[in-house]
């Protein structure tokens, strides 16, 4: 009697476990199974791939800050980045400055390269701001800091954010030595002019930054900033000697931001 | 034992009611923050941690400070502390509760807090901080409760509690070390990137924690029959003296390295805090006040005449507590963010709702402390009767 | 000698129990002891014409949230954005651009059932629910 009851409970327990796990199993099973009738996931046919994506910005091809604006706008439009500094917005307040979000923005030489401090750079560099963004470091400090793996490094070198998982602790913002990360201090939607349905907006309380246009690479497109740069920005695989970035790098002297920290930025500047 | 907490005088209930009032107001502000987002605070893209995280850092120190009673009693059999170790343990409990509340208040998505357990990431220092803080909380609740219960029943505490007590001693050092490591392992933040940060945190903790405890001891003696004893008070004041001197010494080492080497990434933060940078310097008067308070405290503590005068000692503890609080609760976090990694100066000033939420969390801590200490004192008074 | 079976504070205990029972059954009172009717979902013309969803209707009814969870994990974390169903048909794994392309009537399709089940998914805080409308 005692024994059979125990056995019944055991069987019931295992059954309950099995029933509970089945839906998950059904979906996951699609991954490992070779059975053609099982659903599966894959990369798109046109998806671009690389061992290490990298970007080279030829700053010689820009003549003034005006040249940078279409690039910034292309990025921010593509990714639904809100403009809290829009003074024409009905709710605009000067305090909005604190909530600013930017993925790519202009920065003077002394701010972009504070560790390569030089009071006597030539007039062109003094007058010309540099485009800065996430460096997609080889050894990213933000990835180490994140307590939930909401920010992580892909095999192709892109440092990505999983907005679903981010708890908004902002440890990554403290860790990033380039100030590349922004936090959604409030709902960004009222400050997004034209929403791009191809990309989600964000919600309050999560961190965001440049994603090297992972969503565009997946469908065979180059990053939005590269496309809008009129050939001033090269993008490609650092480990492919035939790629445009490799060629630019072998032909020109380039610098990176704060190289002494050992983060290994994947963003190079021809000055 | 918990039933003791319900039997109190009108004053006791009045105090609890006052705390609940502030907590209620803070709760409303928190709902506002929860709905709108952290935009209601003074934090920004450049200064992305503010008052909440600073209070958290300071209070981890207060929690760790309790070990300065536990260690002499259990490792050196220093009997004068036997009566009051429980005060240190319960102070740690309330301080850690405040720490955890400050962390939650600082999260952009608090509903997702358990992602830290769902996706454990041992490479992140925050993961370890979660473990050491919760561990220390549980240790102190269990130890404090069991030892007090045994005292009430005039029986020795259970044998299994001893190993936990021994474990809690290094654990106390651990909580503040890991908290320092949150900051000092970040490559781009010159102000925190210093090996002495953890020792400095500990020194300031062992000054501020026991100083606060001493004030509580004085207060308890005044309003109840429980007296910690002159011997314990005098020893504790000496511990505070050495810890505070160590804290200031470590800070001087820090200033020397940053200023003498002249490396801008390390120097600029100190310049900002003490002299202002590019015309910005909201913290300058505060930082100097903090230094002056700590130096005055040292002078009053080193001199045996002033140290052994209990009214002066109480005043000294107040000065010291404020001094270390400004240092850690205001300067330590903002100072690390200004100037920013791109060397811009954007200052941080907390907003009203932010301050009310902060005050509310402090009051919640005091509420927990009041209830726990009420139980302790009643048990002690029962024992004397 | 007091009777062992006597109940102390009888009045208070009974009153407390009554309050407890009333509170715990509140949802039933609140709904007047009636179950709300199951909602009727409307399919758009496009969805009707397509006949089949990504998976079978029953599967989607019961498991669409698990499916979406797998989609998001796959797209965001693994960069794999194409879903191939049992029939070998391929789909772009996108809530906005695939699901809501057919089910463009969120109010009559998604919300109705979610409201009935009293669940409040916040997918649409980020994922745009009206891809065809501008803003």
C36-49 pLDDT per residue, tens: 788 888 888 888 88
**What is the value of ipTM here, to two decimals?**
0.91
CATH number at residue B166: 1.20.1630.10
C66 → chain A, closest CA residue: A24
Residue with tokens 């080889």: A138
CB pair distance less than 8 Å for C81 and A43: yes
Which pLDDT band, with edges at 50, 70 and 90, does B121 fall under? Answer: very high
pLDDT at residue C134, as a whole number: 45
Rounded-to-integer distance, Cα B105 and Cα B30, Å: 8
- Coil, strand, or helix at residue B346? coil
B49-92 pLDDT per residue, tens: 999 999 999 999 999 999 999 999 999 999 999 989 999 999 99
Per DSSP (E only), the strands in chain B are none
CB pair distance less than 8 Å for A47 and C79: yes
Pairing verdict, β A151-153 and C90-92:
unpaired
A257 → chain B, closest CA residue: B342
Is pLDDT of A13 > 80? no
The partner residue sitting opposite A147, judged by closest CB among B109, B121, B188, is B121
**What is the nearest CA distance from A99 to chain B, expressed in angstroms?**
6
Is pLDDT of A15 > 70? no
Q: At CB < 8 A and 24+ separation, what contacts does B295-302 make?
A: B295/B248, B297/B244, B297/B323, B298/B241, B298/B244, B298/B245, B298/B248, B301/B237, B301/B240, B301/B241, B301/B244, B302/B241, B302/B245
CB pair distance less than 8 Å for B109 and A182: no
Rounded-to-integer distance, Cα A211 and Cα A223, Å: 9
Instruction: Mutation target for A interface from B130, B188, B351: give the one with most A CBs within 10 A.
Output: B188
- B169 Cα distance to chain centroid: 17
Is pLDDT of A24 > 70? no
Total count of domains within chain B? 1
Share of chain C above pLDDT 70, in %: 93
Q: How is residue C94 written in tokens?
A: 């996108």
* Domain containing residue C58: 45-125
CB pair distance less than 8 Å for B342 and A179: yes
Which residues from chain A sit within 8 angstroms of residue B264, using beta carbons? 114, 117
Which pLDDT band, with edges at 50, 70 and 90, does A35 fall under? Answer: low
Number of alpha carbons in the 13 Å side-chain half-sphere of residue A27: 21
CB pair distance less than 8 Å for A187 and B48: no
Q: At CB < 8 A and 24+ separation, what contacts does C106-113 make?
A: C106/C130, C108/C41, C108/C42, C109/C41, C109/C42, C109/C43, C109/C44, C112/C39, C112/C40, C112/C41, C113/C39, C113/C41
User: Furthest-apart CA pair in chain C: how many Å?
Assistant: 84
Residue with tokens 């979906």: A27
Residue count of chain A: 271
Q: Which residues contact C14 (CB under 8 A, 6 or more apart)?
A: none
Does residue C95 fall inside a structural domain?
yes
Share of chain B above pLDDT 70, in %: 100
B264 → chain A, closest CA residue: A115
Is pLDDT of A146 > 50? yes
CB pair distance less than 8 Å for C125 and A203: yes
Is pLDDT of A86 > 60? yes
Chain C positions contacting chain A at CB under 8 Å are: 55, 62-63, 66-67, 70-72, 74, 76-86, 88, 92-93, 96-97, 122, 125-128, 131-132, 134-135
Does residue C9 fall inside a structural domain?
no
A165 → chain B, closest CA residue: B115
The partner residue sitting opposite C66, judged by closest CB among A24, A43, A164, is A24
Does residue C131 fall inside a structural domain?
no
Instruction: Mutation target for A interface from C73, C76, C92, C132: give the one with most A CBs within 10 A.
Output: C76
Which pLDDT band, with edges at 50, 70 and 90, does A12 fall under? Answer: low
Does residue C7 fall inside a structural domain?
no
Residue A42: beta bridge partners? C82
Phi, psi of A162 (to 5 degrees): -105, 100
Which pLDDT band, with edges at 50, 70 and 90, does C135 fall under? Answer: very low
The partner residue sitting opposite B112, judged by closest CB among A167, A173, A258, is A167
Does residue C58 fall inside a structural domain?
yes
Chain A positions contacting chain C at CB under 8 Å are: 23-24, 26-28, 36-44, 47, 152, 154, 156, 160, 162-164, 187, 194-195, 197-198, 200-203, 214, 218-219
A204-258 pLDDT per residue, tens: 999 999 999 999 999 999 999 999 999 999 999 999 999 999 999 999 999 999 9
pLDDT at residue A3, as a whole number: 54
A208 → chain B, closest CA residue: B45
Does residue C37 fall inside a structural domain?
no
Is pLDDT of C34 > 60? yes
**What is the nearest CA distance from B50 to chain A, expressed in angstroms?**
11
pLDDT at residue B29, as a whole number: 97
Total count of domains within chain C? 1
CB pair distance less than 8 Å for A111 and B127: no
- Coil, strand, or helix at residue A90? coil
Residue with tokens 């002297």: A253
The partner residue sitting opposite B108, judged by closest CB among A102, A184, A263, is A184
Domain chopping of chain A, boundaries: 1-41, 53-270
Fold of A53-270: Alpha-Beta Plaits (3.30.70)
**What is the nearest CA distance from B293 to chain A, expressed in angstroms?**
30
Helix H, strand E, coil C: the string for B199-248 is HHHHHHHHHHHHHHHHHHHHHHHHHCCCCCCHHHHHHHHHHHHHHHHHHH
* Domain containing residue B156: 2-384
pLDDT at residue A49, as a whole number: 93
Q: Report the mean per-residue pLDDT for chain A.
A: 89
CB pair distance less than 8 Å for C126 and A194: no
Under 8 Å between Cβ of A170 and A183: yes
Is pLDDT of B188 > 80? yes
Which residues from chain B sit within 8 angstroms of residue A205, using beta carbons? 37-38, 107-109
DSSP string covering A166-197: -----HHHHH-TT---EE-SS--GGG-SS--T
The partner residue sitting opposite B341, judged by closest CB among A146, A165, A177, is A177
């Amino acid at each position: 009697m005692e024994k059979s009851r125990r056995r019944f409970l055991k069987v019931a327990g295992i059954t309950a476990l099995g029933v509970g796990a089945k839906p998950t199993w059904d979906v996951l099973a699609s991954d490992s199974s070779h059975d053609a009738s099982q659903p599966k996931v894959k990369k798109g046919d046109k998806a671009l791939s690389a061992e290490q994506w990298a970007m080279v910005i030829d700053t010689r091809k820009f003549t003034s800050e005006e040249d940078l604006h279409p690039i910034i706008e292309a990025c921010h439009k593509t990714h639904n980045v809100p403009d809290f500094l829009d003074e024409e917005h009905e709710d605009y307040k000067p305090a909005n400055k604190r909530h600013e979000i930017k993925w790519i923005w202009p920065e003077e030489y002394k701010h972009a390269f504070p560790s390569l401090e030089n009071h006597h750079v030539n007039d062109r560099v003094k007058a010309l701001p540099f485009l800065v963004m996430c460096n997609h470091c080889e050894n990213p400090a933000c990835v180490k800091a994140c307590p939930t793996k909401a920010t992580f490094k892909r095999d192709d070198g892109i440092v990505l954010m999983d907005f679903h998982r981010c708890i908004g602790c902002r440890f990554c913002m403290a860790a990033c030595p380039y100030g590349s990360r922004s936090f959604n201090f409030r709902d960004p939607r009222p400050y997004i002019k034209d929403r791009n349905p191809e990309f989600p907006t964000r919600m309050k309380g999560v961190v965001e930054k440049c994603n090297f246009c992972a969503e565009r690479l997946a469908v065979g497109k180059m990053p939005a900033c590269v496309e809008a740069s009129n050939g001033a920005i090269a993008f490609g695989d650092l480990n492919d000697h035939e790629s445009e970035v490799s060629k630019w790098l072998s032909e020109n002297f380039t610098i990176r931001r704060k190289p002494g920290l050992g983060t290994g930025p994947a963003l190079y500047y021809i000055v | 034992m918990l039933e003791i907490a319900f039997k109190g005088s009108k004053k006791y209930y009045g105090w609890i009611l006052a705390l609940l009032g502030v907590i209620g107001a803070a709760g409303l502000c928190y709902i506002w923050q929860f709905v709108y987002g952290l935009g209601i605070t003074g934090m920004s893209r450049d200064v992305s941690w503010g008052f909440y995280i600073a209070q958290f850092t300071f209070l981890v120190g207060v929690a760790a400070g309790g070990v300065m009673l536990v260690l002499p009693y259990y490792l050196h059999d220093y009997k004068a502390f036997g009566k009051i170790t429980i005060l240190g343990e319960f102070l740690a409990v309330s301080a850690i509760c405040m720490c955890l509340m400050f962390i939650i208040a600082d999260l952009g998505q608090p509903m997702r807090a358990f992602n830290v357990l769902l996706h454990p990431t041992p490479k992140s220092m925050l993961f370890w901080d979660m473990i050491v803080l919760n561990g220390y909380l549980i240790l102190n609740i269990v130890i404090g409760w069991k030892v007090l219960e045994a005292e009430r029943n005039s029986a020795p505490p259970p044998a299994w509690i001893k190993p936990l007590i021994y474990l809690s001693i290094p654990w106390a050092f651990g909580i503040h070390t890991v908290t320092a490591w949150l900051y000092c392992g970040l490559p781009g933040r010159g102000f925190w990137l210093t090996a002495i940060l953890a020792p400095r945190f500990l020194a300031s903790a062992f000054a501020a924690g026991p100083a606060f405890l001493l004030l509580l001891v004085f207060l308890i003696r005044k309003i109840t029959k429980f007296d910690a004893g002159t011997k314990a008070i005098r020893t504790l004041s000496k511990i505070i003296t050495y810890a505070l001197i160590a804290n200031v010494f470590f800070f001087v080492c820090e200033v020397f390295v940053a200023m003498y080497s002249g490396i801008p990434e390390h120097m600029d933060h100190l310049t900002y805090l003490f002299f202002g940078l590019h015309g910005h310097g909201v913290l300058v008067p505060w930082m100097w006040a903090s230094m002056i308070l700590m130096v005055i405290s040292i002078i009053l503590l080193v001199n045996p005449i002033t140290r052994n005068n209990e009214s002066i000692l109480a005043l000294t503890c107040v000065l010291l507590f404020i001094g270390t609080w400004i240092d850690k609760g205001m300067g330590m976090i903002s100072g690390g963010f200004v100037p920013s990694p791109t060397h811009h100066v954007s200052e941080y000033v907390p907003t009203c709702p932010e301050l009310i939420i902060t005050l509310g969390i402090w009051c919640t801590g005091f509420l927990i402390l009041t209830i726990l200490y009420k139980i302790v004192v009643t048990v002690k008074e029962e024992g004397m009767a | 000698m007091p009777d062992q079976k006597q109940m102390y504070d009888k009045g208070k205990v009974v009153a407390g129990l009554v309050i407890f029972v009333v509170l715990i059954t509140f949802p039933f009172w609140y709904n007047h002891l009636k179950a709300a009717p199951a909602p009727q979902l409307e399919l758009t013309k496009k969805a009707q014409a397509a006949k089949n969803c990504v998976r079978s209707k029953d599967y989607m009814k019961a498991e669409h949230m698990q499916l979406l969870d797998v989609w998001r994990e796959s797209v965001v974390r693994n960069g794999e954005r194409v879903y191939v169903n049992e029939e070998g048909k391929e789909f772009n794994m996108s809530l906005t651009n695939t699901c809501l392309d057919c089910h463009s009537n969120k109010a009559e399709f998604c919300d109705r059932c979610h409201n009935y089940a009293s669940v409040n998914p916040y997918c649409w805080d980020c994922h745009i629910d009206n891809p065809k409308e501008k803003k």
